[in-house]
């Protein structure tokens, strides 16, 4: 984009936006317009910086004798474009994101950074090729198409395994990945499965409306992501129910982790416009493998039974499935609302 005049760079995202809206994916029109304008301003900023820094290079079109400086400048202009886009797009994204979502996760996600760096490198090489020889674009174009297709495929694959309201794994993706972990663990590695359910969630929908219910789901999901370890699997199992798989986790450790989640959720205050914040609690049933429970279905059934007992016992508590022996933990467990259901 830095090779284009600023006006051309400003309007170049428009045809792509129209094509995307028409042929690929429709979205809210004002969001598409804002995103397109942000990209156009970012490209125009890169073009202005580039042409201000090397007017002679742009006029002559010969970059061969100044390749290191030219590539460095082009990469810098790419960073300027990315920074302008981030400044324009991230504030509205942050404003509409789930409560508790950290800006760090929106900006510095590992996969997102990797994709941006890859796109920047290819863009610099393509720009250099275009400045040096128009014929080089014929070679560069297939690379750009393949990269865009791979990024779009990765985006679609991620969307297929993710629940739209919570950002967690959907039920199918969670079960597939959890089944792999259970099979891998076999009898050698401890693990735990838990089912969590938001208490009185129907009352939230009935009292505050379904949009408030969606906000509660998003806030609880964000809190779970923050409270769980990187190796844990968390998915939305349906409605207000969540499934957790805790690999390399003993029964005592599973109680500690799930109790930490219960306490964290109870301290949430989900803001509402003009009204008091919404507070919710969560009940959790936990199960670990035993002689009679080896498959994922068995563990889910046991955790669901323990969850049912937690609901019957007053809600806002963690219960381990019957017959589980819990060794003494290295630190005392917060047992006020944590129970082991004895057989």
Q: 14 and 95 share a domain?
A: yes
Q: 219 and 89 share a domain?
A: no
Q: 226 and 283 share a domain?
A: yes
Q: Which of 181, 240, 256, 259 is catalytic?
A: 240
Q: 211 and 309 share a domain?
A: yes
Q: 269 and 194 share a domain?
A: yes
Residues 307 and 192: their CA atoms lie apart, in Å, by: 14
Query: In the chain, which residues have pLDDT < 50?
Result: 58-64, 328-336, 342-343
pLDDT of 335: 43
Q: How many CB atoms lie within 10 A of CB 155?
A: 12
Domain annotation covers residue 165: no
Task: Name every residue whose Cβ is closer than 8 Å to that of residue 78 and which is 6 or more positions away in sequence.
Answer: 2, 46, 120, 123, 124
Q: 291 and 183 share a domain?
A: yes
Domain annotation covers residue 200: yes
The CATH number covering residue 192 comes to 3.30.70.270
Domain that holds residue 180: 171-340
Residue 128 tokens, joined: 């250099």
Helices (H) and strands (E) in the chain, counts: 13, 8
Query: Of all helices (H) and strands (E), which one includes residue 234?
Result: strand 233-238
Q: Which residues pair with 285 in a beta bridge?
A: 195, 319
Distance of CA 24 to the CA centre of its chain: 22
Q: 144 and 287 share a domain?
A: no
Domain final position from 160, 193, 215:
160
pLDDT of 263: 94
Domain annotation covers residue 182: yes
Residue 278 tokens, joined: 């919404």
pLDDT of 331: 39
* Strand 282-287 relative to strand 191-198, pairing: antiparallel
**Per-residue pLDDT tens for 55-69?**
555 444 444 456 777
240: annotated active-site residue: yes
Q: How many CB atoms lie within 10 A of CB 308?
A: 15
Task: Name every residue whose Cβ is closer than 8 Å to that of residue 100 and which is 6 or more positions away in sequence.
Answer: 219, 222, 223, 226, 268
Domain annotation covers residue 43: yes
Q: 252 and 125 share a domain?
A: no
Domain annotation covers residue 288: yes
pLDDT of 329: 40
Domain annotation covers residue 166: no
Domain final position from 133, 160, 187:
160
Q: What is the DSSP letter of 22?
A: I
Residues 245 and 40: their CA atoms lie apart, in Å, by: 44
The answer to pTM > 0.85 is no
pLDDT of 42: 85
pLDDT of 26: 67
Domain annotation covers residue 1: no
Q: Which residues of 83-113 are buried (b: 16+ CB within 10 A; e: fewer)?
A: ebbbebbeeeeeeebbbbbeeeeeeeeeeee
Domain annotation covers residue 276: yes
Q: What is the DSSP letter of 291?
A: T
Q: What is the mean pLDDT of the chain?
A: 78
Question: Nearest Cα to 37, choosing from 88, 107, 80?
Answer: 88
pLDDT of 332: 37
Q: 178 and 150 share a domain?
A: no
Q: 118 and 235 share a domain?
A: no
Task: Name every residue whose Cβ is closer than 8 Å to that of residue 186 and which is 6 or more positions away in sequence.
Answer: none
pLDDT of 10: 79
pLDDT of 72: 80
pLDDT of 216: 92
Q: 149 and 213 share a domain?
A: no
Domain final position from 160, 191, 210:
160
In the chain, the number of structural domains is: 2
235 conformational bin, left if phi > 0, alpha if psi -120 to 50, beta if neither: beta
pLDDT of 334: 43
Q: 104 and 199 share a domain?
A: no
């Amino acid at each position: 984009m830095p090779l284009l005049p600023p006006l051309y760079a400003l309007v170049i995202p428009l045809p792509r936006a129209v094509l995307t809206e028409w042929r690929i994916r429709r979205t809210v029109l004002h969001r598409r317009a804002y995103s397109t304008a942000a990209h156009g301003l970012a490209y125009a900023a890169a073009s202005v910086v580039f042409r201000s820094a090397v007017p002679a290079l742009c006029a002559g079109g010969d970059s061969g004798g100044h390749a290191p400086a030219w590539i460095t400048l082009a990469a810098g202009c790419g960073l300027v474009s990315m920074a302008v886009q981030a400044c324009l797009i991230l504030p509205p994204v942050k404003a509409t994101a789930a409560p508790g979502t950290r800006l760090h996760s929106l900006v510095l996600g590992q996969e997102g950074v990797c994709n941006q760096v890859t796109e920047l490198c290819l863009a610099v090489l393509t720009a250099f090729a275009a400045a040096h020889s128009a014929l080089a674009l014929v070679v560069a174009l297939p690379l750009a198409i393949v990269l865009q297709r791979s990024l779009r495929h990765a985006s679609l694959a991620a969307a297929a395994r993710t629940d739209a309201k919570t950002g967690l794994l959907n039920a199918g993706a969670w079960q597939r990945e959890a089944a792999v972990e259970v099979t891998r663990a076999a009898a050698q590695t401890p693990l735990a499965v838990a089912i969590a359910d938001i208490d009185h969630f129907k009352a939230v929908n009935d009292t505050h409306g379904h949009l408030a219910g969606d906000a509660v789901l998003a806030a609880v999901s964000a809190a779970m992501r923050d409270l769980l370890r990187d190796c844990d699997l968390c998915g939305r199992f349906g409605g207000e129910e969540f499934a957790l798989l805790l690999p390399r986790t003993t029964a005592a450790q599973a109680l500690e982790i799930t109790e930490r989640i219960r306490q964290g959720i109870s301290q949430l205050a989900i803001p509402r416009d003009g009204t008091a914040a919404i507070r919710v609690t969560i009940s959790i049933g936990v199960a670990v493998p035993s002689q009679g429970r080896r498959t994922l279905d068995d563990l889910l059934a046991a955790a669901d039974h323990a969850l049912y007992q937690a609901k019957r016992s007053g809600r806002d508590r963690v219960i381990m499935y019957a017959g589980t022996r819990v060794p003494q933990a290295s630190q005392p467990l917060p047992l006020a609302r944590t129970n082991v259901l004895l057989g």
